[in-house]
């Protein structure tokens, strides 16, 4: 997307603290709320990609209160507010300010990305700081990626491309650096525990072995289980409620690798297969207009030598 449009979107949104609460499977209620606006008959939804949502115990309990087999979107809870739920802070940024180097920024077309960041809250960050001495260097600092640092470091992010005229959005990327790096440090911590080492150094940080293991087992392992659900839920909420998008596309593993010119190590395949299917995106050869309108689109299609596929959700 054009840099000017990205700046306009950021400038128009409310400033200040934006909290996002998430409990496991909250995404099912988010999707039920969105999809029931188009089809409110429960028996009809069962025959669609949304049918699997209706099998979740919490959703079943809600459907039992629906009258005449109809879902009222206004009555669908947005969050379950479970005790194990997490509170995150959201922030919005722009990735790829220098458009001259857009090919190096893993964007699908010339321009920049909007970046929605799911950040740790202050409580999370304080717990993390108790486990590692960051006075010399932050071991979880992420170079060359669209993350926020400081008191509210980015847990994960979602890069987005938008076209306000067509009402389309393309999810370019869903990723976490912090949890990936923390998993590696925790593996080391378990080894150091066996060696009876109270502290160890890794990624430039000085870690307390037992405190880190405790933090992982009691707190951050829960983040790991749901970060992808929380991130994509936050992105869909942002796109539909704040921006008013009607169609959301999501890269397949193949289209993302080709259009973003990814060489070398590829992103986890599950983020471009399992995750969009979990969220009821449907696979299609119908590419978003925001890409097809590019002068180079036909040339790219010929170079691919096979049909490009995407995931799509119409809301």
In a domain, 202, yes or no: no
CATH classification at residue 90: 3.40.630
User: How much is the average pLDDT of 37-42?
Assistant: 93
In a domain, 61, yes or no: no
Q: Which domain holds residue 20?
A: 3-24+82-127+144-185+225-314
- Are the beta carbons of 159 and 176 closer than 8 angstroms? no
In a domain, 207, yes or no: no
In a domain, 136, yes or no: no
User: What is the count of structural domains for the chain?
Assistant: 1
Q: Work out whether the CA dihedral 97, 101, 105, 109 comes out positive or negative.
A: positive
What pLDDT is recorded for position 167?
96
Residue 8, token pair as written in the block: 């306009």
In a domain, 238, yes or no: yes
Spell out the residues 6+ positions from residue 73 whose beta carbon is closer than 8 angstroms to its own: 33, 34, 36, 37, 40
Asked if pLDDT for residue 217 goes beyond 90, the answer is yes
User: How much is the average pLDDT of 129-149?
Assistant: 89
pTM: 0.95
User: How much is the average pLDDT of 169-174?
Assistant: 97
Classify the phi-psi angles of 50: left when phi > 0, otherwise alpha if psi is within -120 to 50, otherwise beta: alpha
> What are 97-114's pLDDT values in tens digits?
788 888 889 999 999 999
In a domain, 157, yes or no: yes
């Amino acid at each position: 997307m054009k840099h000017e449009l990205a700046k306009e979107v950021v400038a128009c949104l409310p400033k200040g603290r934006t909290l996002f609460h998430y409990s496991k499977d909250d995404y099912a209620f988010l999707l039920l709320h969105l999809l029931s606006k188009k089809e409110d008959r429960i028996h009809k939804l069962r025959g669609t990609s949304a049918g699997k949502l209706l099998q979740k115990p919490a959703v079943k309990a809600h459907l039992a209160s629906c009258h005449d087999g109809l879902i009222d979107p206004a009555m669908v809870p947005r969050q379950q507010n479970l005790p194990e739920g997490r509170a995150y802070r959201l922030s919005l940024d722009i990735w790829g300010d220098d458009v001259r180097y857009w090919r190096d920024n893993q964007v699908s077309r010339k321009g920049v990305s909007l970046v929605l960041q799911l950040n740790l809250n202050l409580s999370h960050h304080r717990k993390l700081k108790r486990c590692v001495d960051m006075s010399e260097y932050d071991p979880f600092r992420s170079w060359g990626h669209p993350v926020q640092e400081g008191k509210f470091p980015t847990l994960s992010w979602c890069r987005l491309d938008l076209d306000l005229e067509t009402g389309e959005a393309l999810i370019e990327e869903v990723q976490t650096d912090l949890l990936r790096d923390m998993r590696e440090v925790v593996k080391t911590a378990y080894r150091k525990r066996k060696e009876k080492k109270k502290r160890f150094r890794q990624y430039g940080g000085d870690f307390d072995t037992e405190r880190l293991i405790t933090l992982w087992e009691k707190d951050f392992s829960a983040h790991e289980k749901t970060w992808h659900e929380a991130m994509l839920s936050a992105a869909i909420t942002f796109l539909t409620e704040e921006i008013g998008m009607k169609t959301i596309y999501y890269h397949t593993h193949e289209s993302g690798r080709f259009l973003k010119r990814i060489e070398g190590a590829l992103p986890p395949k599950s983020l471009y297969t399992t995750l969009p299917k979990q969220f009821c995106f449907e696979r299609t050869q119908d590419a978003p207009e925001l890409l097809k309108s590019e002068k180079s689109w036909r040339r790219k299609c010929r170079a691919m030598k096979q049909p490009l596929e995407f995931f799509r959700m119409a809301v």
